[in-house]
Structure 1
Amino acid sequence: MIAIAAVLALLCPLFTRMLCPELKLVRPNFQKKPIPAATGLSFLLPLACYPPLWPAIAFGVLGLADDLWGDRSVGGFKGHLKSLFSGKPTTGSLKLFGGGLIALGYAWFLFPGKWLQVFVAASVIALSANTLNLLDLRPGRAFFGFGLLLLPALALTPLTFTELWPLLIVLTIEWWSDARASAMLGDTGSNLLGALAGVLLVQSLPLMGQTVLLVVLLALNLVSERLSISAMIEKTRWLKWLDQKLGAR
C-alpha cells in the first residue's frame, strides 16, 4: 500500500504536466519562457486522501477557475468588488465569496456555536490563501510563504505531518520545479497551499494564536492593496537578498 501511494505521488506531477497543455494552461513565466501554469493540480489527488484537509481542495478548484477563465486586468479586493457591483463579476469575486463561504463552513464544523472563533478561523484560512496568491509572482516565493505559515503548526502538532508523506513528495517535486522557474503553481496551487496552511493552523493554534496571525495576514493583505509586494522587496535590502535565494531571478 505504501509503495502504491509513493508511485501515485510521483506520477501526479507528471500527469499534471501532460494535462496543462490540454487545458491551455501554459503561460510565459517572468523570463517569457512558456511553462505549465497550474501545477497546483498535482496536489489534488494526494489531498483527497485526507478528508480533514478537503477545504484546501475546494480553494484549489476556485483557483483553477481563475487560471482557466480569469481576467488579469482586474486585481485586489477593491478591483473585484467594484467589478461585481458594476454587474461584471470576475472569477476573483467568485474566489472572494466562494472561498469565504467554504472557510466559514469549515470553521463552523471545527468550532460549532463559537461565533468569535468561527470568524477568526475562517478569516485565517481565507487570508492565508490570498496571501500565498499575492506572493506567487516569482519562483520560490509561495513555497517560502507556505513554509513560514506552517512553522507554528509544525511546532505544535509535528506528528500530523508524518501522515502526509505522499503530499510531501509532491510538494518537494513542485517546489523544485517552481524554484527553477520551470513550472508555475498558478492560482490553483497558491490558493490551495495557502488554504492548506490556514486549515492546519486553525486545527493547531489556540484562539489567541489565531488572532495574532489574523492581524498579521490582514495587515499584509491591506498593504498589498496600495503597494506592490515585489516593489517593496526590491527596495528593502535584506528582503531582496533573501528573495534572490528562493529561486531563479
Structure 2
Amino acid sequence: MASWKVSALSSGLAALGAAAVVNRHPLRSWDRPSFSGSPVNLSEGLVAAVGSLAGAACMRGPAATGATIAIGAGALAGYVDDQCEDRFPAKAKGLKGHLGALSQGKLTSGALKIGLISVGSACGVAFLKRKGSCAAQVEVWMEQTALVAGTANLVNLLDLRPGRALKACSILALPLVFHHGATSALAASILTTSAVCAPQDLNRKGMLGDLGANAIGASLGMALADLNSAKARRALLGAVVGLTLASERVSFSTVIEGNRVLKAIDDFGRRA
C-alpha cells in the first residue's frame, strides 16, 4: 500500500478513536467562549493532534521521525498556551506582544510556545534529506525550520472562525497529495484529520485551539518543507512571513468579510 494511503488511514482511524473518547468523556474544563460568546470545547485540538501524530508516525524513513518531533512539539506548545496561560507572570497578544514582554524579562505562555515550536521545527527538519555543500545544507535547514514554525503559527492565527483553519490546511494539502514521499503522506494525513474534525468545528461545538492548530500546522509545514523545489519553498516562506507580519496590523476576518469569494469559502458548511 502506498505511503500516503497508510498515513491517511492511520490518521483517520486515530482521530476517530480520539473523538470517540472525548465525546464519551467530555473535558468540561476545556470549554472556552468562542468569538461570538457561545461556548466551544478545545478537545477538538486533541483529536487533531492525535490524528496528525498517527499519520506522521506511520510514514516511512527518517522523515517520519522528523515529522513526529515537529508535530509533537507544536502540540505541546499549543497545550501550554491553551491550558497554562494563567500560570505565567505576564499575558500578551500577537507576536509583537509576546516578544515585547520577553524583552522586559516577562515570560508569557505565547513566548514559550514560540520557543518550543522553533526548537521542535529545527529538530524535525533535520531528518529531511538535503543536497549540496555543508553551507548550502545549513541554509536549507534554516529555511525549512522557519517554514515549519511559521506555518504552525499561521494556522493558529486562522483559527478564529469555525472551519477556517481546517479549510485553509485542506486546500493547501490537496495538491500536495500528488507529490512524493513525506509531502504526499503528510498531506493525506491532513485531509483525513481535517475531515474528522470538521463537523465539530463547523457546527460551532469545538475548535482546534492552539493545541490542534499548531499540530496540524506543523504537519502542513513539514509537508511544504520537504518539497524538492527551492523556489517553491522560498516563495511559501515569504508568503507565511508576510501574512504573519500583516496579521499584526490587519484583521484576517475583516479582509475575508470584504471579499466575496473568500467569504463564500469561509462560510461554506458553517452552521448559521
| Deviation, structure 1 residue 96 | 1.2
Match of 1:13 in 2: 19
The residue identity in structure 1 corresponding to 2:30 is L
Distance 1:185 1:165 in 2: 19
| Deviation, structure 1 residue 34 | 1.9
The residue identity in structure 1 corresponding to 2:253 is S
Distance 1:137 1:40 in 2: 14
Distance 1:124 1:175 in 2: 25
TM-score by length of 1: 0.86
TM-score by length of 2: 0.79
Match of 2:261 in 1: 238
Query: Any idea what SS the aligned residue of 2:32 has?
Result: strand
| Deviation, structure 1 residue 192 | 0.6
Match of 2:194 in 1: 171
Match of 2:61 in 1: none
Match of 1:69 in 2: 84
Give the gaps of 5 or more residues in structure 1: none
Conserved? CA contact 1:139–1:180, under 8 Å: yes
Bigger mean CA deviation after superposition, 134-143 or 167-176: 167-176
Bigger mean CA deviation after superposition, 69-78 or 33-42: 69-78
Distance 2:187 2:125 in 1: 22
Residue 138 (structure 2) pairs with residue 123 (structure 1): no
| Deviation, structure 1 residue 137 | 0.3
Give the gaps of 5 or more residues in structure 2: 1-5, 59-63
| Deviation, structure 1 residue 128 | 0.7
User: Taking every aligned residue pair, what percent have the same amino acid on both sides?
Assistant: 30
Query: Any idea what SS the aligned residue of 1:155 has?
Result: coil
Distance 1:98 1:190 in 2: 14
Query: Any idea what SS the aligned residue of 2:210 has?
Result: helix
Distance 2:164 2:217 in 1: 12
Match of 2:32 in 1: 27
- Relative to structure 1, is the Cα distance of residues 230 and 164 closer, same or farther in structure 2, using a 3 angstrom cutoff? closer
Match of 1:37 in 2: 42
- Relative to structure 1, is the Cα distance of residues 88 and 222 closer, same or farther in structure 2, using a 3 angstrom cutoff? same
Ranges of 4+ aligned residues in structure 1 off by more than 6 Å = 162-167
Match of 1:58 among 73, 76, 84: 73
Distance 1:88 1:74 in 2: 10
